[in-house]
Amino acid sequence: MDISSAILIIGFAALVAAFLLLVIGLVYSELMNSDIPCGVANSGKLHMVHGLFVGTAVVGRILHRLGICHQVSFARWFVACFLTRLKQVPAGLRVKDMKFLEVPVRIYEPTSVCEGLRRGLMYFHGGGWILGSIDSVDEVCRHIAIESDTTVISVGYRLAPEHRYPAQLDDCEKATNHFLSVAETEFGVDSHRVAVGGDSTGANLAAALCQRLAWSEDRHLPFPCAQVLIYPALQMADFNLPSYQQNHAVPILFRGRMAFYFLQYLNGDVSLCQEVLEGNHVPTELRPRYEAWLSPSSLPPECLARGFYKHPTPEYDAEAYHAIKAGLEPEVSPLLADDALIQKTPQTFILTCEYDVLRDDGILYRKRLLDLGKDVTWQHVIDGFHGMINFFNQGWLTFPSAVQVVDSVVHYIKTL
């Protein structure tokens, strides 16, 4: 080996070492900013999973700044390659990929004999409107289909940043309407027993879809019989609720990250993140109305047990409001809909987790529904954290509490 080759190899090795040290340093810094309470189920495993996700995010940011690839693209690639494993279809289930009006769907049909028509479930995956896929919830949909004897349709809606609001909601609506129109003739499903549901931002889409369909005056198709909302994101007005304060640094969803996801969904202007977190985007005249629906006094006392302080009244920023005002509309923030619209929504299942910034969104939506005389089933996972359903039946990544989450959904669906 000549000297020039040796220098080249040494230089490359030094560059790799510097890159690894940079990644390790940034990951360590991020991990020091996290807070995993002792009450979280399998906290040691969550530390490890969080470190894996942080490392992925850090490498993605570095590659993005170097102009090699978009950080979101890297995150999708990593999850698809290392955290998503499609297993052999089990006995008793038929799985096929199709398109409903150009929207990708995966259909899970139990093969057991059924007297009459089956029930159905349209499922929308989570992932902050930018991540997630049909594959990422494959195990969940398989389990629900088999255990509840339900035909499940998983929807592969378009994602941000390539597609902004309302593309995601439009895709969910198109797929749902198409299935309702052919449920009986093509799939042996009772179109009057089809529910919609999802986890996290997928639950946001389910709740928003129910309100959008309820608003349609010329609707000729059956209305969803229920909405299944698993730790839903339901409002963009207040990021200082008790659950946001108590769980602001609990993996896998930080307070600031939720604002980032909303902004990516709307327009991609993440420079407004701090304005949104402080509440400066909410017009003064709307605050009394929102405060009535988002008041901490409407939460159960145990939700305040880990501490809460009243956030100072924010200073209104008209520029921030006009940039994200769609985020305060019901199609993005279903919790902020008028009573008349919420009154038209179907019976509801809501699951919340104690160690989740979105806990209070779900609980406050439950209260609004109950105040209007709606039928609500609420399941609260006392040791749960956001994103648990992603770790259902995932080998060494499995969290036992994820089984509790999915089985509670199964139990509810069986009642429909």
Residues annotated as catalytic (active site), given as ranges: 200, 356, 386
Task: Give CA torsion, residues 123, 380, 160, 393, to 10 deg.
Answer: -60
User: CA Rg, the chain, in Å?
Assistant: 22
* Residue 116 token pair: 């009459």
Q: Which residues of 301-338 are buried (b: 16+ CB within 10 A; e: fewer)?
A: eebeeeebeeeeebebbeebbebbebbbebbbbbbbbe
* Residue 350 token pair: 């809501």
* Residue 4 token pair: 């020039």
Pairwise CA distance, residues 175 & 268, whole Å: 25
Neighbour-count burial of 61, counting CB atoms closer than 10 A to its CB (0-12 exposed, 13-18 middle, 19+ buried)? middle
* Residue 400 token pair: 């036992």
The stretches of 35-129 forming alpha helices (DSSP H) are: 43-65, 71-78
Peptide bond preceding 166 in cis form (omega within 30 of 0) = yes
For 276, what's the count of Cα atoms within 13 Å in the CB-facing half-sphere?
A: 25
Neighbours of 168 (CB within 10 A): 24
* Edge-to-edge strands, sheet with 118-124: 93-100, 103-110, 150-155, 118-124, 189-199, 226-230, 347-355, 376-385
N-terminal to C-terminal alpha carbon distance within the chain: 73
Q: Look up residue 303 and give its DSSP letter.
A: G
Q: How far is the CA of 279 from the CAs of 239, 267, 321, 323, in angstroms?
A: 7, 18, 10, 14
